[in-house]
Amino acid sequence: MAAVWTAAFVAPRAETGRDNQRDERSFDQTIGAHARELFGEGRQTFRFDTFADKHFCGDALKLHQAIEGARFGGVGAGLSPAAALGAGLKVDSTALPPSLVDAVLHGAVDLNDPANTLALLRLNAVIGVVPIGSTAIGGLQSVGVTCALCHSTVDDSVAPGIGRRRDGWPNRDLNVGAIIAMAPDLSAVAALLQVDQPTVRAVANSWGPGRFDAELFLD
């Protein structure tokens, strides 16, 4: 009788142990899935969320007008891919169609045409720069920047400044001052500092790559 009772009570304990193991695995899987979901959401925010700064970059500075140029409703010659790369902006090759990557490798893309900068923006390939809307003649309604502008770079696997993105790596080539100086309207900054716009441009252009004076924008 003792043997029977022992068997009766031991078996349920073994089954309960297996159930607990299954519950723990299920719990770990749930936690892991949730962590991956949060990581993905954070990466999306880091790469593409402008936090509504289009009101500053677009509405105030009108930076999109300098990018598109007069041909597409903006001002000036526009920003060519070559000029964008020269200012330290980076292009994510994984956002490009394979045929376009091949064309870049073979020198078949005109890097001096601002129209190609607009095309790259619409592919979300210019790291940290987000186009807002479009106009009837192919221009932009506004533009915003994200965390990735300063805090991502590329591995230059396609060409200098063009390659697979490396999030979290500082973009030491980025010439923030030169980009600011491109803006057609710096009146908001000039009024805040009580100087004229040429002075703001001169100061911004003096920074050089990898430097940013936060006091200029009260960052």
Cα–Cα distance, 123 to 96 (Å, whole number): 7
Q: What is the pLDDT of residues 22-73, one digit of tens each?
A: 666 788 888 888 889 998 999 999 999 999 999 999 999 999 999 999 999 9
Each domain of the chain, given as residue ranges in start order, spans 1-48, 50-211
CA dihedral 149, 151, 157, 160 (to 10 degrees): 60
DSSP code at position 1: -
| Closest to 64 measured CA to CA, from 138, 151, 158, 160 | 138
Q: What is the pLDDT of residues 105-149, one digit of tens each?
A: 999 999 999 999 999 999 999 999 999 999 999 999 999 999 999
